[in-house]
């Protein structure tokens, strides 16, 4: 257990050196780092809102847009329901009173009402007696008119669901890697508060939130252009869409109902076109979307189809051959930065509605500089006290243990700096807990060595046996803590996830330092004392 080959010693030394170099920028200011050579790392730990402050945005959802979208859904569902029941209708359109349906035959009204009532979904809790319907079907004053409209309770539920979906989408957009720890909370009926740590310039942040990123793929009308449709009449089921660049592309007439929607996307990554070297976005559909997209392209070789983002056409390429793999690319005069931002938006999913920024400002740290300084002082005092106790209790081996604990903190800082992870007050609590676990691991090892010495073993044999027998106990205890940290990261959010990240990294660093760094230091000491027959300093 105490034997280290030359390559293992070199590997451990290089790991510790790499960690020290990577964590070193945290001890310098950003201005000082600018003068460093380009090959040296310059990433620093990002401080959270409670330690540094950041951007504060108050966002508002468009309730009118939500109602309009719901009317569109009700219209399509009503049309499908009546067609399936073979009930003729003249027109279906949205009005201030709801979705109005005008039947061909007034005597079909009772049957139509029965079919449309099947669209009603209960909301609330049936067991508690608070259940109600999301929509209602009402007969109009004319015998051939029926109205389908949302109930007030149903619309409130719709807004609540949209707020929840918007908060999750916002989280994925501003924190795609899950390490920034933004604060996202709902305020009132249709407002969302967003606070992002360490952000001084909110331009990129607002750009990511400013688009709903609703991606759809549409069929192009075969014989009629958008200009002809404007002059005569837009065919039923079709709609005129503008290009993103109106001056160059003008408009195009597309089937209003999309072939495939962005909901079927499972991945979107920025890339470069192999022929033109222009920035593009490579996308991939799920199984259902790939099947529909493949069938459409197979049946429409030689015809164009349009890629639409937020009701604006990005491009309308011609289908050269069937696309059966469920993947493709989107081009649209992107820059590298815009392609990356759009890919993040598409991966995070579409916002249910457009968000309007009502308030924008920067906020300072909630703890204040005095609290941060007091926390730093308390940490130094605590670490000094633990160091004194370890040296008093275990002598030279206590110094070895504290050297390993110090390396533990350096490695955690290095990994968090490289990951871009955010350090908050709960994260600092995770670091303190990690120090305790690291010290505890060394105490277990040293007490096992003492036990072996009391059993009459020689110093070298006791040390070797102590490390071997303590390994299983330390691994089991850290494994159970790691499981708890994974659950906290999976189910938690914000500061809870920050604590889980720090704790998880600390567990890996603790196991590494206790059974490599501490053991290596002890091994080197044993090698020097081997010929002197000196007992273990415990």
457/538 Cα distance (integer angstroms)? 14
Instruction: Tell whether 76 and 217 lie within a shared domain.
Output: no
- Residue 397 belongs to some domain of the structure: yes
Q: How confident is the model at residue 366 (pLDDT cuts 50, 70, 90)?
A: low
137/115 Cα distance (integer angstroms)? 10
**Per-residue pLDDT reduced to its tens digit, 172-204:** 788 776 667 788 888 888 889 888 887 777 777
Which residues are CB-neighbours of 456 under 8 A, at least 6 positions away?
none
Structure tokens at 157: 């539920």
For residues 278-284, average pLDDT: 83
185/489 Cα distance (integer angstroms)? 18
90/146 Cα distance (integer angstroms)? 12
pLDDT of residue 387: 87
Instruction: Tell whether 337 and 205 lie within a shared domain.
Output: yes
pLDDT at 131 over 80: no
pLDDT of residue 534: 53
pLDDT of residue 179: 65
pLDDT at 347 over 80: no
Contact between residue 296 and residue 285 where contact means Cβ atoms under 8 Å apart: no
pLDDT at 238 over 80: yes
- Residue 537 belongs to some domain of the structure: no
- Residue 39 belongs to some domain of the structure: yes
- Residue 534 belongs to some domain of the structure: no
Give the containing element (helix H, strand E) for 75. helix 63-84
**Per-residue pLDDT reduced to its tens digit, 498-525:** 788 888 998 999 888 888 888 888 888 8
Residue corresponding to tokens 């199984």: 287
pLDDT at 535 over 60: no
Contact between residue 401 and residue 446 where contact means Cβ atoms under 8 Å apart: yes
Q: Please calculate the CA angle 134-137-141 and round it to the nearest 5 degrees.
A: 145
| CA torsion, ordered 471, 473, 477, 482, to nearest 10 deg | 30
Residue 474 half-sphere exposure toward CB, CA atoms < 13 A: 28
Instruction: Give, as one character, the DSSP assignment of residue 304.
Output: B
Q: Phi and psi of 316, rounded to 5°?
A: -135, 70
Instruction: Tell whether 44 and 73 lie within a shared domain.
Output: no
Helix (H, G, I), strand (E, B) or coil at 363: strand
Q: How far is CA 372 from the centre of its chain?
A: 28
For residues 77-95, average pLDDT: 86
Domain boundary among 93, 124, 149: 149
Question: For residue 85, what is the domain's CATH number?
Answer: 3.30.70
pLDDT of residue 538: 56
Structure tokens at 68: 């309009």
Query: Helix (H) and strand (E) counts for the chain?
Result: 16, 21
Instruction: Tell whether 382 and 522 lie within a shared domain.
Output: yes
Instruction: Tell whether 100 and 185 lie within a shared domain.
Output: no
- Residue 536 belongs to some domain of the structure: no
Instruction: Tell whether 463 and 512 lie within a shared domain.
Output: yes
Question: For residue 203, what is the domain's CATH number?
Answer: 3.30.1360.200
Q: Phi and psi of 532, rounded to 5°?
A: -100, -15
Choose among 70, 74, 105, 69: nearest CA to 87: 105
Which residues are CB-neighbours of 2 under 8 A, at least 6 positions away?
460, 463, 464, 467, 519, 522, 523, 526
95/71 Cα distance (integer angstroms)? 9
Which residues are CB-neighbours of 193 under 8 A, at least 6 positions away?
56, 57, 58, 59, 183, 184, 185, 186, 187
pLDDT of residue 319: 82
| pLDDT above 70 coverage of the chain, percent | 92
Instruction: Please give the mean pLDDT across all residues of the chain.
Output: 82
pLDDT of residue 367: 60
Contact between residue 316 and residue 306 where contact means Cβ atoms under 8 Å apart: yes
- Residue 11 belongs to some domain of the structure: yes
**Per-residue pLDDT reduced to its tens digit, 401-432:** 899 989 998 999 898 888 877 787 788 888 88
Instruction: Tell whether 397 and 355 lie within a shared domain.
Output: no
Domain boundary among 361, 393, 409: 361
Instruction: Tell whether 342 and 488 lie within a shared domain.
Output: no
Which residues are CB-neighbours of 287 under 8 A, at least 6 positions away?
326
Q: How far is the CA of 43 from the CAs of 22, 25, 303, in angstroms?
A: 8, 7, 50
Instruction: Give, as one character, the DSSP assignment of residue 465.
Output: H
Residue corresponding to tokens 């920024």: 357
pLDDT at 127 over 80: no
Q: State the residue range of the domain holding 292.
A: 55-61+158-361
Q: Point out the least confidently predicted range of 134-143, 330-339, 441-450, 498-507.
A: 330-339
Helix (H, G, I), strand (E, B) or coil at 271: strand
Instruction: Tell whether 519 and 396 lie within a shared domain.
Output: yes
Contact between residue 65 and residue 310 where contact means Cβ atoms under 8 Å apart: no
pLDDT of residue 246: 54
pLDDT at 115 over 70: yes
Domain boundary among 128, 149, 170: 149
Residue 519 half-sphere exposure toward CB, CA atoms < 13 A: 24
For residues 349-367, average pLDDT: 77
Instruction: Tell whether 345 and 227 lie within a shared domain.
Output: yes
Q: How far is the CA of 190 from the CAs of 68, 74, 152, 155, 355, in angstroms?
A: 16, 22, 15, 12, 10
Q: Point out the least confidently predicted range of 18-27, 371-380, 464-473.
A: 371-380
pLDDT at 537 over 60: no
Sheet with strand 215-219: strands edge to edge:
260-261, 215-219, 305-309, 312-315
The structural domain count of the chain equals 3
pLDDT of residue 501: 85
pLDDT of residue 17: 92
Strands in 53-209 per DSSP E: 54-61, 89-95, 98-103, 122-123, 132-133, 135-139, 145-150, 183-187, 191-197
Instruction: Tell whether 223 and 350 lie within a shared domain.
Output: yes
Q: How confident is the model at residue 249 (pLDDT cuts 50, 70, 90)?
A: low
Instruction: Tell whether 275 and 390 lie within a shared domain.
Output: no
- Residue 378 belongs to some domain of the structure: yes
520/511 Cα distance (integer angstroms)? 13
Which residues are CB-neighbours of 75 under 8 A, at least 6 positions away?
92, 93, 94, 99
Instruction: Give, as one character, the DSSP assignment of residue 106.
Output: G
**Per-residue pLDDT reduced to its tens digit, 138-178:** 888 888 888 888 888 888 888 888 888 888 888 878 877 66
């Amino acid at each position: 257990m105490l034997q280290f080959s030359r390559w293992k010693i070199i590997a451990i030394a290089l790991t510790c050196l790499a960690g020290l170099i990577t964590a070193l920028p945290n001890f310098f200011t950003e201005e000082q780092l600018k003068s460093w050579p380009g090959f040296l790392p310059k990433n620093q730990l990002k401080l959270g809102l409670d330690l540094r402050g950041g951007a504060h945005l108050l966002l508002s959802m468009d309730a009118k847009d939500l109602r309009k979208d719901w009317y569109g859904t009700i219209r399509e569902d009503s049309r499908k329901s009546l067609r399936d029941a073979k009930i003729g209708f003249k027109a279906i359109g949205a009005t201030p009173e709801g979705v109005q349906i005008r039947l061909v035959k007034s005597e079909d009204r009772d049957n139509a009402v029965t079919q449309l009532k099947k669209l009603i979904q209960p909301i609330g809790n049936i067991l508690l007696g608070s259940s109600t319907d999301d929509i209602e079907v009402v007969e109009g004053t004319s015998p051939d008119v029926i109205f389908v409209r949302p109930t007030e309770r149903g619309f409130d539920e719709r807004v609540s669901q949209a707020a929840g979906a918007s908060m999750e989408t916002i989280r994925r957009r501003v924190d795609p890697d899950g390490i920034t720890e933004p604060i996202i909370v709902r305020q009132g009926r249709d407002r969302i508060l967003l606070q992002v740590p360490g952000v001084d310039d909110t331009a990129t942040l607002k750009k990511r939130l400013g688009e709903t990123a609703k991606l759809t793929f549409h069929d192009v009308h075969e014989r009629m252009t958008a200009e002809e449709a404007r002059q005569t009449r837009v065919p039923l089921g079709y709609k005129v869409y503008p290009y993103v660049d109106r001056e160059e592309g003008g408009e195009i007439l597309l089937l209003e109902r999309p072939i495939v929607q962005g909901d079927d996307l499972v991945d979107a990554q920025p890339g470069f076109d192999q022929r033109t070297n222009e920035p593009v976005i490579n996308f991939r559909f799920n199984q259902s979307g790939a099947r529909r997209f493949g069938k459409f392209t197979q049946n429409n070789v030689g015809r164009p189809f349009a890629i639409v983002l937020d009701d604006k056409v990005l491009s309308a390429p011609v289908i050269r051959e069937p696309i059966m793999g469920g993947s493709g690319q989107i081009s649209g005069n992107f820059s590298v930065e815009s392609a990356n931002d759009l890919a993040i938006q598409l991966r995070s999913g579409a916002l249910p509605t457009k968000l309007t920024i009502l308030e924008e400002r920067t906020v300072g740290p909630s703890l204040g500089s005095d609290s941060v300084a007091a926390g730093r002082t308390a940490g130094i005092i605590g670490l000094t006290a633990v160091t004194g106790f370890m040296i008093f209790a275990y002598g030279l081996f206590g110094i070895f243990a504290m050297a390993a604990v110090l390396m533990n903190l350096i490695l955690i800082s290095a990994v968090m700096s490289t990951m871009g992870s955010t350090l908050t007050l709960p994260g600092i609590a995770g670091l303190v807990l990690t120090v305790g676990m690291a010290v505890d691991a060394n105490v277990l090892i040293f007490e096992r060595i003492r036990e072996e010495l009391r059993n009459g073993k020689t110093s070298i044999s006791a040390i070797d046996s102590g490390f071997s027998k303590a390994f299983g106990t330390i691994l089991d205890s850290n494994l159970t803590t790691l499981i708890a940290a994974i659950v906290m990261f999976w189910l938690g959010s914000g500061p809870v996830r920050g604590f889980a990240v720090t704790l998880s990294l600390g567990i890996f660093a603790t196991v590494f330092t206790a059974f490599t760094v501490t053991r290596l230091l002890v091994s080197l000491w044993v090698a020097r004392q081997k010929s002197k027959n000196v007992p273990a300093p415990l």
